[in-house]
Amino acid sequence: MRKGDLVFHEFWGKGMIVQQQGVVDRWLVRWFEPCGSTKGRWDVVGVWGSKLEVISSTESLNKS
């Protein structure tokens, strides 16, 4: 995973990687449609990489 990748999370839905948190497999993700009434406060959340599914990688776009 890298900055700019589009990802999916079971709870949060679709989002984009903003940055890695430290050197572990944890990422800050900006969610496109945050859950319920939490919009604004929870639009960027730290998530473990093992819980994310990459939808579209910036790496594959750079190869084209």
* pLDDT tens readout for residues 8-23: 999 889 999 999 998 8
Where residue 59 falls among pLDDT bands split at 50, 70, 90?
Answer: confident
Q: Can you tell me the distance from the alpha carbon of 23 to that of 40, in angstroms, rounded to the nearest whole number? A: 27
pLDDT tens digit sequence for 20-55: 998 889 999 999 876 655 556 678 899 999 999 999
Distances in Å between the Cα of 61 and the Cα atoms of 22, 56, 57 are: 25, 8, 7
Residue 62 pLDDT:
61
- The amino acid present at 54, given as its one-letter code, is V
Q: Can you tell me the distance from the alpha carbon of 53 to that of 55, in angstroms, rounded to the nearest whole number? A: 6
* Order of all β-strands in the sheet with 6-9: 44-48, 26-31, 13-20, 6-9, 52-56
Confidence (pTM): 0.77
